[in-house]
Structure 1
Protein backbone atom coordinates (compact mmCIF):
# COMPACT_ATOMS: atom_id res chain seq x y z
CA UNK A 1 0.00 0.00 0.00
CA UNK A 2 1.28 3.44 -0.98
CA UNK A 3 0.99 6.00 1.83
CA UNK A 4 1.88 9.68 1.87
CA UNK A 5 0.87 13.15 3.03
CA UNK A 6 -0.40 16.56 2.08
CA UNK A 7 2.65 18.82 1.89
CA UNK A 8 3.78 22.36 1.18
CA UNK A 9 3.84 23.17 -2.51
CA UNK A 10 7.27 24.87 -2.72
CA UNK A 11 9.29 21.64 -3.06
CA UNK A 12 6.86 18.71 -2.80
CA UNK A 13 9.40 16.04 -3.76
CA UNK A 14 11.76 17.12 -0.97
CA UNK A 15 8.79 17.17 1.41
CA UNK A 16 7.98 13.60 0.38
CA UNK A 17 11.54 12.50 1.10
CA UNK A 18 11.45 14.16 4.52
CA UNK A 19 8.39 12.07 5.39
CA UNK A 20 9.30 8.82 3.68
CA UNK A 21 6.14 9.29 1.64
CA UNK A 22 5.17 7.31 -1.45
CA UNK A 23 2.77 10.00 -2.62
CA UNK A 24 2.03 13.65 -1.93
CA UNK A 25 -0.84 16.04 -2.33
CA UNK A 26 -0.49 19.81 -2.49
CA UNK A 27 -2.13 22.99 -3.71
CA UNK A 28 -1.16 24.65 -6.99
CA UNK A 29 -2.57 28.02 -5.92
CA UNK A 30 -4.09 29.79 -2.92
CA UNK A 31 -6.71 27.36 -1.56
CA UNK A 32 -8.90 30.29 -0.53
CA UNK A 33 -8.49 32.26 -3.76
CA UNK A 34 -9.73 32.34 -7.33
CA UNK A 35 -6.44 32.85 -9.19
CA UNK A 36 -5.36 30.35 -11.83
CA UNK A 37 -2.34 28.20 -10.90
CA UNK A 38 0.95 29.48 -12.34
CA UNK A 39 3.25 27.29 -14.41
CA UNK A 40 5.82 25.44 -12.32
CA UNK A 41 9.51 25.55 -13.16
CA UNK A 42 9.94 22.14 -11.52
CA UNK A 43 7.27 20.46 -13.65
CA UNK A 44 9.65 18.00 -15.31
CA UNK A 45 11.33 17.11 -12.01
CA UNK A 46 7.95 16.35 -10.47
CA UNK A 47 7.00 14.26 -13.51
CA UNK A 48 10.24 12.27 -13.29
CA UNK A 49 10.01 11.63 -9.54
CA UNK A 50 8.98 8.20 -8.25
CA UNK A 51 6.55 9.91 -5.91
CA UNK A 52 2.91 9.92 -7.02
CA UNK A 53 1.37 13.40 -7.05
CA UNK A 54 -2.21 14.52 -6.40
CA UNK A 55 -3.53 18.07 -6.49
CA UNK A 56 -6.18 19.44 -4.16
CA UNK A 57 -8.29 22.12 -5.79
CA UNK A 58 -9.11 25.36 -3.92
CA UNK A 59 -11.72 25.21 -1.19
CA UNK A 60 -13.67 28.08 -2.75
CA UNK A 61 -14.85 25.87 -5.62
CA UNK A 62 -18.53 24.92 -5.39
CA UNK A 63 -19.79 23.31 -8.59
CA UNK A 64 -23.25 22.75 -7.10
CA UNK A 65 -23.87 26.41 -6.31
CA UNK A 66 -26.99 28.08 -7.66
CA UNK A 67 -25.14 31.41 -7.51
CA UNK A 68 -23.71 32.20 -10.97
CA UNK A 69 -20.94 34.27 -9.38
CA UNK A 70 -19.68 31.16 -7.60
CA UNK A 71 -20.61 28.31 -9.95
CA UNK A 72 -19.21 29.76 -13.19
CA UNK A 73 -15.82 30.78 -11.70
CA UNK A 74 -15.72 27.37 -10.00
CA UNK A 75 -16.01 25.61 -13.34
CA UNK A 76 -13.26 27.76 -14.82
CA UNK A 77 -10.93 27.34 -11.85
CA UNK A 78 -11.25 23.56 -11.67
CA UNK A 79 -10.63 23.26 -15.41
CA UNK A 80 -7.50 25.42 -15.01
CA UNK A 81 -6.30 23.22 -12.16
CA UNK A 82 -6.84 20.07 -14.19
CA UNK A 83 -4.67 21.44 -16.99
CA UNK A 84 -1.96 22.56 -14.57
CA UNK A 85 -2.07 19.20 -12.78
CA UNK A 86 -1.59 17.38 -16.09
CA UNK A 87 1.48 19.53 -16.77
CA UNK A 88 3.22 18.06 -13.71
CA UNK A 89 2.03 14.50 -14.25
CA UNK A 90 -0.48 14.44 -11.40
CA UNK A 91 -2.67 11.37 -10.99
CA UNK A 92 -5.78 13.35 -10.12
CA UNK A 93 -7.36 16.56 -8.88
CA UNK A 94 -9.48 16.38 -5.74
CA UNK A 95 -12.55 18.60 -5.42
CA UNK A 96 -15.11 18.80 -2.63
CA UNK A 97 -18.70 17.79 -3.31
CA UNK A 98 -20.11 21.26 -2.76
CA UNK A 99 -23.49 22.34 -1.42
CA UNK A 100 -26.53 24.51 -1.93
CA UNK A 101 -27.87 27.08 0.52
CA UNK A 102 -30.77 26.74 2.92
CA UNK A 103 -34.06 26.90 1.03
CA UNK A 104 -32.53 26.03 -2.34
CA UNK A 105 -33.39 22.90 -4.33
CA UNK A 106 -30.47 20.49 -4.05
CA UNK A 107 -31.68 18.75 -7.22
CA UNK A 108 -30.49 21.83 -9.10
CA UNK A 109 -27.10 21.43 -7.42
CA UNK A 110 -26.76 17.89 -8.71
CA UNK A 111 -27.79 19.07 -12.17
CA UNK A 112 -25.14 21.78 -12.02
CA UNK A 113 -22.57 19.04 -11.44
CA UNK A 114 -23.91 17.14 -14.45
CA UNK A 115 -23.74 20.23 -16.66
CA UNK A 116 -20.12 20.82 -15.68
CA UNK A 117 -19.04 17.31 -16.65
CA UNK A 118 -21.19 17.33 -19.80
CA UNK A 119 -19.66 20.60 -20.98
CA UNK A 120 -16.17 19.29 -20.31
CA UNK A 121 -16.96 16.07 -22.21
CA UNK A 122 -18.13 18.11 -25.20
CA UNK A 123 -14.72 19.83 -25.16
CA UNK A 124 -12.70 16.62 -25.00
CA UNK A 125 -12.79 15.88 -21.28
CA UNK A 126 -10.27 16.59 -18.55
CA UNK A 127 -6.52 16.18 -18.76
CA UNK A 128 -6.44 14.28 -15.44
CA UNK A 129 -9.06 12.41 -13.40
CA UNK A 130 -11.36 14.53 -11.24
CA UNK A 131 -11.80 12.91 -7.82
CA UNK A 132 -14.89 13.99 -5.88
CA UNK A 133 -14.31 14.09 -2.12
CA UNK A 134 -16.95 13.43 0.51
CA UNK A 135 -17.50 16.24 3.00
CA UNK A 136 -18.08 16.38 6.75
CA UNK A 137 -20.85 18.85 7.40
CA UNK A 138 -23.88 20.68 6.12
CA UNK A 139 -27.43 19.48 5.71
CA UNK A 140 -27.45 20.66 2.09
CA UNK A 141 -24.15 19.06 1.06
CA UNK A 142 -23.96 17.01 -2.13
CA UNK A 143 -21.42 14.49 -0.80
CA UNK A 144 -21.94 14.06 2.94
CA UNK A 145 -24.72 11.48 3.29
CA UNK A 146 -24.88 8.30 1.26
CA UNK A 147 -28.24 9.18 -0.29
CA UNK A 148 -26.87 12.42 -1.69
CA UNK A 149 -23.66 10.77 -2.90
CA UNK A 150 -25.92 8.36 -4.77
CA UNK A 151 -27.89 11.25 -6.27
CA UNK A 152 -24.63 12.94 -7.28
CA UNK A 153 -23.42 9.75 -9.00
CA UNK A 154 -26.75 9.40 -10.76
CA UNK A 155 -26.00 12.82 -12.23
CA UNK A 156 -22.31 12.43 -13.11
CA UNK A 157 -21.50 8.71 -13.05
CA UNK A 158 -21.67 8.36 -16.83
CA UNK A 159 -18.65 10.69 -17.08
CA UNK A 160 -16.57 8.31 -14.90
CA UNK A 161 -15.34 10.67 -12.19
CA UNK A 162 -13.13 9.29 -9.44
CA UNK A 163 -13.84 9.27 -5.72
CA UNK A 164 -11.69 10.37 -2.79
CA UNK A 165 -12.77 9.00 0.60
CA UNK A 166 -11.84 11.25 3.52
CA UNK A 167 -12.08 9.21 6.74
CA UNK A 168 -12.46 12.22 9.05
CA UNK A 169 -15.22 13.59 6.82
CA UNK A 170 -16.93 10.20 6.71
CA UNK A 171 -16.83 9.86 10.50
CA UNK A 172 -17.98 13.43 11.13
CA UNK A 173 -20.56 13.05 8.36
CA UNK A 174 -22.22 10.10 10.06
CA UNK A 175 -21.08 7.24 7.79
CA UNK A 176 -20.63 3.97 9.66
CA UNK A 177 -17.17 2.36 9.87
CA UNK A 178 -15.95 0.13 8.32
CA UNK A 179 -19.05 -0.46 6.18
CA UNK A 180 -18.65 2.95 4.57
CA UNK A 181 -16.28 1.40 2.03
CA UNK A 182 -18.77 -1.16 0.76
CA UNK A 183 -21.51 1.48 0.74
CA UNK A 184 -19.45 3.93 -1.32
CA UNK A 185 -18.26 1.22 -3.69
CA UNK A 186 -21.85 0.15 -4.28
CA UNK A 187 -22.63 3.71 -5.37
CA UNK A 188 -19.53 4.79 -7.28
CA UNK A 189 -17.88 1.50 -8.19
CA UNK A 190 -14.51 2.92 -7.14
CA UNK A 191 -12.41 4.63 -4.52
CA UNK A 192 -9.29 6.12 -6.07
CA UNK A 193 -7.66 7.79 -3.07
CA UNK A 194 -8.07 7.90 0.71
CA UNK A 195 -7.52 10.95 2.88
CA UNK A 196 -6.53 9.02 5.99
CA UNK A 197 -7.34 11.35 8.85
CA UNK A 198 -8.42 10.83 12.43
CA UNK A 199 -11.13 13.16 13.81
CA UNK A 200 -11.02 15.51 16.79
CA UNK A 201 -14.81 15.32 17.09
CA UNK A 202 -17.51 12.77 17.73
CA UNK A 203 -19.27 10.61 15.16
CA UNK A 204 -21.83 12.55 13.05
CA UNK A 205 -20.66 15.85 14.54
CA UNK A 206 -20.57 17.54 11.15
CA UNK A 207 -17.25 19.11 12.15
CA UNK A 208 -14.21 18.92 9.86
CA UNK A 209 -11.29 18.91 12.28
CA UNK A 210 -8.50 16.45 11.52
CA UNK A 211 -6.37 14.71 14.15
CA UNK A 212 -3.18 12.70 13.97
CA UNK A 213 -3.59 8.94 13.66
CA UNK A 214 -4.60 7.49 17.02
CA UNK A 215 -5.00 10.91 18.64
CA UNK A 216 -8.66 11.41 17.74
CA UNK A 217 -12.05 9.77 18.16
CA UNK A 218 -11.76 7.11 15.43
CA UNK A 219 -10.63 3.68 16.56
CA UNK A 220 -7.24 3.09 14.92
CA UNK A 221 -8.03 -0.50 13.98
CA UNK A 222 -11.31 0.52 12.34
CA UNK A 223 -9.54 3.33 10.50
CA UNK A 224 -6.97 0.86 9.22
CA UNK A 225 -9.72 -1.57 8.17
CA UNK A 226 -11.39 1.17 6.13
CA UNK A 227 -8.14 2.02 4.37
CA UNK A 228 -7.34 -1.63 3.64
CA UNK A 229 -10.81 -2.31 2.25
CA UNK A 230 -10.47 0.47 -0.32
CA UNK A 231 -7.31 -0.98 -1.87
CA UNK A 232 -6.41 2.62 -2.76
CA UNK A 233 -3.37 4.76 -1.98
CA UNK A 234 -3.75 6.85 1.17
CA UNK A 235 -2.37 10.12 2.41
CA UNK A 236 -2.63 12.00 5.69
CA UNK A 237 -3.84 15.59 6.01
CA UNK A 238 -3.04 15.71 9.69
CA UNK A 239 -1.65 18.46 11.95
CA UNK A 240 2.08 19.15 12.09
CA UNK A 241 4.97 18.94 9.69
CA UNK A 242 7.43 16.31 8.52
CA UNK A 243 7.99 14.78 11.96
CA UNK A 244 4.30 14.35 12.76
CA UNK A 245 3.45 13.15 9.26
CA UNK A 246 6.30 10.64 9.33
CA UNK A 247 4.88 9.22 12.56
CA UNK A 248 1.39 9.04 11.06
CA UNK A 249 2.67 7.32 7.93
CA UNK A 250 4.65 4.81 9.99
CA UNK A 251 1.60 4.12 12.15
CA UNK A 252 -0.60 3.54 9.11
CA UNK A 253 1.95 1.21 7.55
CA UNK A 254 2.03 -0.76 10.78
CA UNK A 255 -1.75 -0.90 11.06
CA UNK A 256 -2.36 -1.86 7.44
CA UNK A 257 0.48 -4.38 7.09
Structure 2
Protein backbone atom coordinates (compact mmCIF):
# COMPACT_ATOMS: atom_id res chain seq x y z
CA UNK A 1 0.00 0.00 0.00
CA UNK A 2 1.33 3.42 -0.96
CA UNK A 3 0.78 6.04 1.76
CA UNK A 4 1.25 9.78 1.51
CA UNK A 5 -0.18 13.24 2.07
CA UNK A 6 -1.53 16.32 0.35
CA UNK A 7 1.24 18.93 0.20
CA UNK A 8 -0.52 22.28 0.29
CA UNK A 9 1.01 25.24 -1.54
CA UNK A 10 4.41 23.58 -1.48
CA UNK A 11 6.92 25.06 -3.93
CA UNK A 12 9.13 21.97 -3.64
CA UNK A 13 6.76 19.04 -3.05
CA UNK A 14 9.29 16.39 -4.05
CA UNK A 15 11.71 17.44 -1.31
CA UNK A 16 8.90 17.59 1.25
CA UNK A 17 7.69 14.15 0.17
CA UNK A 18 11.22 12.78 0.50
CA UNK A 19 11.61 14.31 3.97
CA UNK A 20 8.31 12.72 5.04
CA UNK A 21 9.42 9.38 3.54
CA UNK A 22 6.09 8.97 1.78
CA UNK A 23 5.27 6.84 -1.25
CA UNK A 24 2.79 9.21 -2.90
CA UNK A 25 1.81 12.85 -2.63
CA UNK A 26 -1.08 15.01 -3.78
CA UNK A 27 -0.64 18.54 -5.09
CA UNK A 28 -2.35 21.34 -6.98
CA UNK A 29 -1.18 22.49 -10.41
CA UNK A 30 -2.75 25.95 -10.08
CA UNK A 31 -4.25 28.20 -7.41
CA UNK A 32 -7.10 26.04 -6.05
CA UNK A 33 -9.33 29.09 -5.61
CA UNK A 34 -8.94 30.48 -9.14
CA UNK A 35 -9.60 29.72 -12.80
CA UNK A 36 -5.98 30.26 -13.77
CA UNK A 37 -4.57 27.94 -16.39
CA UNK A 38 -1.69 25.81 -15.03
CA UNK A 39 1.77 26.92 -16.09
CA UNK A 40 4.71 24.53 -16.69
CA UNK A 41 6.66 23.68 -13.55
CA UNK A 42 10.47 23.75 -13.54
CA UNK A 43 10.49 20.57 -11.43
CA UNK A 44 8.10 18.65 -13.71
CA UNK A 45 10.76 16.28 -15.02
CA UNK A 46 12.04 15.52 -11.51
CA UNK A 47 8.51 14.78 -10.28
CA UNK A 48 7.80 12.65 -13.34
CA UNK A 49 11.00 10.63 -12.93
CA UNK A 50 10.73 10.18 -9.17
CA UNK A 51 9.85 6.85 -7.58
CA UNK A 52 7.33 8.77 -5.46
CA UNK A 53 3.89 8.68 -7.10
CA UNK A 54 1.86 11.86 -7.58
CA UNK A 55 -1.84 12.61 -7.91
CA UNK A 56 -3.27 16.06 -8.61
CA UNK A 57 -6.28 17.64 -6.91
CA UNK A 58 -8.29 19.98 -9.12
CA UNK A 59 -9.20 23.50 -8.10
CA UNK A 60 -12.19 23.78 -5.78
CA UNK A 61 -14.55 25.97 -7.81
CA UNK A 62 -14.94 23.34 -10.57
CA UNK A 63 -18.53 22.10 -10.89
CA UNK A 64 -19.05 20.18 -14.12
CA UNK A 65 -22.57 19.15 -13.04
CA UNK A 66 -23.82 22.74 -12.89
CA UNK A 67 -26.73 23.80 -15.10
CA UNK A 68 -25.26 27.32 -15.21
CA UNK A 69 -23.29 27.71 -18.44
CA UNK A 70 -21.05 30.37 -16.89
CA UNK A 71 -19.87 27.81 -14.31
CA UNK A 72 -20.10 24.53 -16.23
CA UNK A 73 -18.19 25.66 -19.35
CA UNK A 74 -15.11 27.00 -17.52
CA UNK A 75 -15.27 23.93 -15.28
CA UNK A 76 -14.97 21.61 -18.28
CA UNK A 77 -12.06 23.62 -19.63
CA UNK A 78 -10.33 23.65 -16.25
CA UNK A 79 -10.63 19.86 -15.94
CA UNK A 80 -9.08 19.44 -19.39
CA UNK A 81 -6.25 21.87 -18.64
CA UNK A 82 -5.47 20.51 -15.19
CA UNK A 83 -5.57 16.91 -16.43
CA UNK A 84 -3.02 17.87 -19.10
CA UNK A 85 -0.83 19.51 -16.45
CA UNK A 86 -1.17 16.39 -14.28
CA UNK A 87 0.00 14.25 -17.20
CA UNK A 88 3.11 16.43 -17.52
CA UNK A 89 3.96 15.45 -13.94
CA UNK A 90 3.35 11.75 -14.56
CA UNK A 91 0.35 11.80 -12.18
CA UNK A 92 -1.94 8.78 -12.01
CA UNK A 93 -5.10 10.88 -11.82
CA UNK A 94 -6.88 14.20 -11.32
CA UNK A 95 -9.26 14.34 -8.35
CA UNK A 96 -12.45 16.29 -9.09
CA UNK A 97 -15.30 16.85 -6.62
CA UNK A 98 -18.72 15.54 -7.61
CA UNK A 99 -20.26 19.00 -7.68
CA UNK A 100 -23.81 20.09 -6.95
CA UNK A 101 -26.94 21.74 -8.32
CA UNK A 102 -29.09 24.56 -7.02
CA UNK A 103 -32.41 24.17 -5.26
CA UNK A 104 -35.16 23.11 -7.64
CA UNK A 105 -32.88 21.90 -10.44
CA UNK A 106 -33.25 18.42 -11.92
CA UNK A 107 -30.55 16.03 -10.70
CA UNK A 108 -30.84 14.03 -13.93
CA UNK A 109 -29.46 17.02 -15.84
CA UNK A 110 -26.50 17.24 -13.47
CA UNK A 111 -25.64 13.58 -13.98
CA UNK A 112 -26.04 14.08 -17.74
CA UNK A 113 -23.55 16.96 -17.57
CA UNK A 114 -21.02 14.62 -15.97
CA UNK A 115 -21.47 12.24 -18.89
CA UNK A 116 -20.99 15.10 -21.34
CA UNK A 117 -17.65 15.93 -19.70
CA UNK A 118 -16.25 12.58 -20.78
CA UNK A 119 -18.27 12.31 -24.00
CA UNK A 120 -17.00 15.62 -25.36
CA UNK A 121 -13.40 14.67 -24.62
CA UNK A 122 -13.50 11.44 -26.63
CA UNK A 123 -12.94 13.27 -29.93
CA UNK A 124 -9.87 14.92 -28.39
CA UNK A 125 -8.32 11.58 -27.45
CA UNK A 126 -9.47 11.64 -23.83
CA UNK A 127 -8.02 13.41 -20.81
CA UNK A 128 -4.34 13.47 -19.97
CA UNK A 129 -5.00 11.32 -16.89
CA UNK A 130 -8.02 9.51 -15.40
CA UNK A 131 -10.58 11.73 -13.67
CA UNK A 132 -11.07 10.50 -10.10
CA UNK A 133 -14.51 11.64 -8.95
CA UNK A 134 -14.56 12.34 -5.20
CA UNK A 135 -17.55 11.92 -2.91
CA UNK A 136 -18.52 15.11 -1.12
CA UNK A 137 -19.70 15.98 2.38
CA UNK A 138 -22.68 18.30 2.26
CA UNK A 139 -25.55 19.72 0.29
CA UNK A 140 -28.96 18.27 -0.45
CA UNK A 141 -28.31 18.63 -4.17
CA UNK A 142 -24.80 17.16 -4.27
CA UNK A 143 -23.93 14.77 -7.08
CA UNK A 144 -21.81 12.44 -4.92
CA UNK A 145 -22.79 12.77 -1.26
CA UNK A 146 -24.81 9.58 -0.82
CA UNK A 147 -24.40 6.08 -2.22
CA UNK A 148 -27.70 6.57 -4.03
CA UNK A 149 -26.30 9.65 -5.77
CA UNK A 150 -23.03 7.90 -6.58
CA UNK A 151 -25.03 5.03 -8.08
CA UNK A 152 -26.89 7.45 -10.37
CA UNK A 153 -23.63 9.20 -11.25
CA UNK A 154 -22.01 5.89 -12.17
CA UNK A 155 -24.94 5.00 -14.38
CA UNK A 156 -23.92 8.09 -16.36
CA UNK A 157 -20.13 7.78 -16.42
CA UNK A 158 -19.25 4.22 -15.43
CA UNK A 159 -18.71 3.02 -18.99
CA UNK A 160 -15.87 5.53 -19.54
CA UNK A 161 -12.47 3.96 -18.87
CA UNK A 162 -11.10 7.27 -17.58
CA UNK A 163 -13.81 7.67 -14.92
CA UNK A 164 -12.29 6.67 -11.57
CA UNK A 165 -13.33 7.09 -7.95
CA UNK A 166 -11.74 8.73 -4.91
CA UNK A 167 -13.23 7.82 -1.52
CA UNK A 168 -12.93 10.49 1.18
CA UNK A 169 -13.66 9.16 4.67
CA UNK A 170 -14.45 12.53 6.27
CA UNK A 171 -16.83 13.37 3.43
CA UNK A 172 -18.58 10.01 3.70
CA UNK A 173 -18.96 10.38 7.49
CA UNK A 174 -20.22 13.96 7.19
CA UNK A 175 -22.54 12.85 4.39
CA UNK A 176 -24.20 10.22 6.58
CA UNK A 177 -22.58 7.05 5.23
CA UNK A 178 -21.47 4.39 7.74
CA UNK A 179 -17.76 3.71 7.16
CA UNK A 180 -18.03 0.09 8.30
CA UNK A 181 -18.36 -1.94 5.11
CA UNK A 182 -18.38 1.22 2.98
CA UNK A 183 -15.55 0.06 0.71
CA UNK A 184 -17.54 -2.99 -0.32
CA UNK A 185 -20.72 -0.94 -0.87
CA UNK A 186 -18.87 1.61 -3.01
CA UNK A 187 -17.17 -1.11 -5.07
CA UNK A 188 -20.54 -2.75 -5.68
CA UNK A 189 -21.51 0.51 -7.43
CA UNK A 190 -18.31 1.72 -9.10
CA UNK A 191 -16.34 -1.50 -9.41
CA UNK A 192 -13.26 0.43 -8.33
CA UNK A 193 -11.61 2.68 -5.75
CA UNK A 194 -8.56 4.39 -7.23
CA UNK A 195 -7.59 6.57 -4.27
CA UNK A 196 -8.50 7.05 -0.62
CA UNK A 197 -8.49 10.40 1.16
CA UNK A 198 -8.07 9.17 4.73
CA UNK A 199 -9.28 11.91 7.05
CA UNK A 200 -10.95 12.04 10.43
CA UNK A 201 -13.75 14.55 11.05
CA UNK A 202 -14.04 17.46 13.46
CA UNK A 203 -17.82 17.11 13.35
CA UNK A 204 -20.53 14.62 14.22
CA UNK A 205 -21.87 11.94 11.87
CA UNK A 206 -24.15 13.27 9.09
CA UNK A 207 -23.21 16.87 9.92
CA UNK A 208 -22.75 17.88 6.29
CA UNK A 209 -19.58 19.69 7.33
CA UNK A 210 -16.27 19.13 5.56
CA UNK A 211 -13.75 19.78 8.34
CA UNK A 212 -10.86 17.35 8.53
CA UNK A 213 -9.09 16.21 11.69
CA UNK A 214 -5.94 14.19 12.30
CA UNK A 215 -6.48 10.45 12.45
CA UNK A 216 -6.64 10.09 16.25
CA UNK A 217 -8.30 13.46 16.98
CA UNK A 218 -11.76 13.41 15.40
CA UNK A 219 -15.16 11.80 15.83
CA UNK A 220 -14.37 8.74 13.68
CA UNK A 221 -12.83 5.72 15.42
CA UNK A 222 -9.24 5.58 14.09
CA UNK A 223 -9.45 1.80 13.85
CA UNK A 224 -12.35 2.18 11.44
CA UNK A 225 -10.23 4.50 9.29
CA UNK A 226 -7.42 1.94 9.23
CA UNK A 227 -9.92 -0.73 8.21
CA UNK A 228 -11.12 1.43 5.31
CA UNK A 229 -7.55 1.93 4.10
CA UNK A 230 -6.82 -1.79 4.32
CA UNK A 231 -10.02 -2.84 2.56
CA UNK A 232 -9.67 -0.30 -0.26
CA UNK A 233 -6.19 -1.54 -1.19
CA UNK A 234 -5.55 1.73 -3.06
CA UNK A 235 -3.08 4.60 -2.60
CA UNK A 236 -3.87 6.57 0.57
CA UNK A 237 -3.56 10.35 0.85
CA UNK A 238 -3.85 12.15 4.19
CA UNK A 239 -5.53 15.55 3.94
CA UNK A 240 -5.31 16.06 7.68
CA UNK A 241 -4.00 19.23 9.40
CA UNK A 242 -0.36 19.63 8.33
CA UNK A 243 1.19 19.81 11.78
CA UNK A 244 -0.18 16.37 12.61
CA UNK A 245 0.71 14.62 9.34
CA UNK A 246 3.99 13.06 10.58
CA UNK A 247 2.13 11.53 13.53
CA UNK A 248 -0.68 10.36 11.26
CA UNK A 249 1.83 8.66 8.97
CA UNK A 250 3.48 6.91 11.93
CA UNK A 251 0.11 5.77 13.28
CA UNK A 252 -1.13 4.47 9.93
CA UNK A 253 2.09 2.64 9.09
CA UNK A 254 2.12 0.98 12.49
CA UNK A 255 -1.58 0.05 12.37
CA UNK A 256 -1.32 -1.46 8.91
Q: TM-score, normalised by structure 2?
A: 0.97
Work out which of the residue numbers 164, 167, 170 in structure 1 matches 2:169.
167
| Residue in structure 2 matched with residue 151 of structure 1 by the alignment | 152
More divergent stretch after superposition (135-144 vs 176-185): 176-185
| Residue in structure 2 matched with residue 245 of structure 1 by the alignment | 245
More divergent stretch after superposition (53-62 vs 19-28): 19-28
Measure the CA separation in 2 of the matches of 1:192 and 1:11: 25
- What is the aligned length? 254
Q: Which runs of 5+ in 1 are unaligned?
A: none
Offset of 1:123 from its aligned partner?
1.8
Q: Report 1:48-63 matches (<5 A).
A: 48-63=49-64
SS in 2 for 1:5: strand
Measure the CA separation in 2 of the matches of 1:198 and 1:72: 34
Deviations 1:140-168 (A, max 9, x none): 00000001100000001111311000010
Measure the CA separation in 2 of the matches of 1:101 and 1:215: 34
Measure the CA separation in 2 of the matches of 1:76 and 1:98: 15
Measure the CA separation in 2 of the matches of 1:229 and 1:172: 20
| Residue in structure 1 matched with residue 129 of structure 2 by the alignment | 128
Q: Judge conservation of contact 2:93–2:130 (CA < 8 Å) in 1.
A: yes
Q: Report 1:32-181 matches (<5 A).
A: 32-160=33-161, 161-181=163-183
Deviations 1:181-228 (A, max 9, x none): 111000000000000100001111110000001100000111111111
SS in 1 for 2:139: coil
Offset of 1:73 from its aligned partner?
0.1
SS in 2 for 1:159: coil
Q: Judge conservation of contact 2:169–2:179 (CA < 8 Å) in 1.
A: no
Work out which of the residue numbers 223, 230, 255 in structure 2 matches 1:221.
223
SS in 1 for 2:142: coil
Q: Which runs of 5+ in 2 are unaligned?
A: none
Q: Judge conservation of contact 1:9–1:27 (CA < 8 Å) in 2.
A: no
Measure the CA separation in 1 of the matches of 2:182 and 2:100: 21
Offset of 1:122 from its aligned partner?
2.3
Moved over 6 A (4+): none
| Residue in structure 2 matched with residue 188 of structure 1 by the alignment | 190
Offset of 1:253 from its aligned partner?
1.1
Q: Judge conservation of contact 2:112–2:156 (CA < 8 Å) in 1.
A: yes
| Residue in structure 1 matched with residue 201 of structure 2 by the alignment | 199
RMSD: 0.8
Offset of 1:83 from its aligned partner?
0.5
Deviations 1:64-88 (A, max 9, x none): 0000000000000010001011011
Measure the CA separation in 2 of the matches of 1:253 and 1:81: 31
SS in 2 for 1:235: strand
Offset of 1:179 from its aligned partner?
1.4
| Residue in structure 2 matched with residue 234 of structure 1 by the alignment | 236
Q: TM-score, normalised by structure 1?
A: 0.97
